[in-house]
Structure 1
Amino acid sequence: DRLLVEAQASINTAVSDRLAAQANLDDAEAGPRSDELEAEQAKVSAQEAAVKAQAAAVQAEEAAVAQALLALQRTRIIATAPGIVNDKLVNVGDYVRSADPVLELIDNSAIDILLELPEARAAQIEPGQPVVLRSRALPGWEARTAIDSLTPIASATSRSRAARIRLTDPPPGLLPGTALVAALEISGSSSGYQVSRDVLTRRDGQWLVYGIQAGGPEQPSLAQEIPVNLVSDNGETVIIDSPELSPNFEIVLKGGDALQDQAPVMVVEGPSAQPRPGTASDGEAQGGEGAQGGGADGGAQDGEEAQDGASLLPGLSVALPWSIAAQEA
């Protein structure tokens, strides 16, 4: 009996396994049910919608980044060439249009120097001639270079010609407009008159000195404006020349910057000084401080010799008379 029961149980198990396998086979052959398929399709559609939404958000962020980069680029002004800023043409808050200038740049990689040459010396200067450059703005600086070219036309006002010097790789402190002193070796001796550099006055491109036309007993002396050529610049002293100058001609050493041609003056110091009763002497102008013209003492001292074959001119100091100074104050 026991064996029969075990055999029957085995048969039942086999039948159950066959039925389960048949059910699985029927499910496999029948495929997914419609409700499961619809659920899967709905899930896929939701995922596709989420991807599209994320893509739209990414595009919006990319557009915002591009707009920010454009705004950043518009805040930067890139020069077309390197240089240093010489002038700012607009201020914060100003409205500018496209292509409006906002800064003035100067190319500092090379500087063109225009050296004024006296008319009498221009014929002795040739391109390629060595020249030594110095500047009071740069103590200790010195550059040895050469003349590049000469302008073919002389200035009608200063009677001088310009020599062009191309200075490459200038020092940082040498900016356009800086005054330079050039030393040239010229054969022969210089003709002219040696005076202090402070004697010279520069107006309208012309170098000037002042002489004195003596007045009468009741008339003041008058300033005489004399155009001169700058023959040589020796630093503290210069050599000048003019047909109106002579070895004994007295020029104004002190007070010339405040003078005009034919302006009334009073000689207060020098060979021609003749103080009148009631006037000041010893270099002081009547009217006190402020009436006397400015300028450092110049001219030759006792025992001083002129350089380069030039003559020395006697000097004097002048001041505006008290009556004239009071009217102009």
Structure 2
Amino acid sequence: MRLWKQLLICLVILLVGLGVWVHFVPGADTMLAKAGVPPRLIALMAKPAGEAKDGGGQEQAQGQGRGQGRNQGGGGGGAPLVVTQPVDIAVVNDRLNAIGNGAAILSVSVTPLATGNLTEILVKSGDKIEKGQVIARLDSDEQVISAAQAKVAVDSAKEKVERNRKLGDAVSVAVLRDAEFAMQAAELALKTAELDLKRRDIVSPSAGIVGIITVNPGDYVTTSTPIAVVDDRTQILVDFWVPERFSNKISVGQDVSATAIALPTSELSGVIDSIDNRVDAASRTLRVRARIDNPDDTLRAGMSFSVEVRFAGDQYPTVNPLAVQWSADGSYVWRVQEEKSQKVPVKIIQRNSDKVLVDAELAKGDAVVMEGVQRLRDGGAVRLAEQQEQRRDRKPATEPTEQKVSEAETAK
């Protein structure tokens, strides 16, 4: 075989291979265009094999091709047929759900200010008490005697001062001053004795509900022995933790809604009371405290709550997962405008089973290709499957007229 024939055969095989490559490999036409191949040659290689076959094939295939051409409005040429779906807009980071623990707005563990034996307990569990109310007493016989002795000493010192003052010049100033100092010391001793006696009464430093009392009359208690826990439940504080991405969005005074896990039908509302000043390095979360009113006293300290906080959120376009394609430059989608395909780079923000949130130059309602992406090229013409279906739906309305014309011609 001569050399020119061998070269011709190799050239034909090369062209056929390039055509197959362009036809089946996405993005091949773009690579050839970058390499300097003329667009007409690329379009010729990208033609489907079915079109070439129609030129010299069987009559039945030609008839089907002509019928499809009529159904498609007589146009389309070699433009690929695609299925599109409009772009929608979704909002993310617009709410926060967390589980928190409740605590009374004020909780006090009442302990004695002195040591001794309990003589009586004046409250019981569940009682509502006021601030300063006596809840228990210690034995106070010794303190009563000390207070009485201090009272006698004060009376004696006062009498001595008054007697010296009546004597006038007969008593020196020094003697009078010593008597007055003795009276002041006696008064201070009386106040100390009265304070010791007062401390034998165990009082509540705050108003609230008394918890379970764990001591009994006759027990010896010290200043570290808890007598009772008093909770002010008019408001409940709920501590919960939020991811660090919300640290610059949440603020004091922001409204929150909550539901007690033990009371699923309850709908509670409150506000953010305080925010911690740092993010926990281990969990990457921020501690937040919400305050919820409890006017009916249905909530208890220690209950768990489901807390929801709403924000303005971030809006992103959403596309069908099938529309997202990948190349060496990253992810992208094909957008159709004026029956031409456009390659739009996208950055994936969130991937769900039914939609993908992307950061891209896409507007709501833009048509994005989700089927038929294999033969698309940037700026190339496309045919929309939706338009083809609409044309097929309109076709039966013209068939009866054509049939009547045929019957009239036959009758003639």
The TM tier, using the shorter chain, reads 0.3 to 0.5
* More strand as a share of residues: 2
- Larger helix proportion, structure 1 or 2? 2
TM-score by length of 2: 0.27
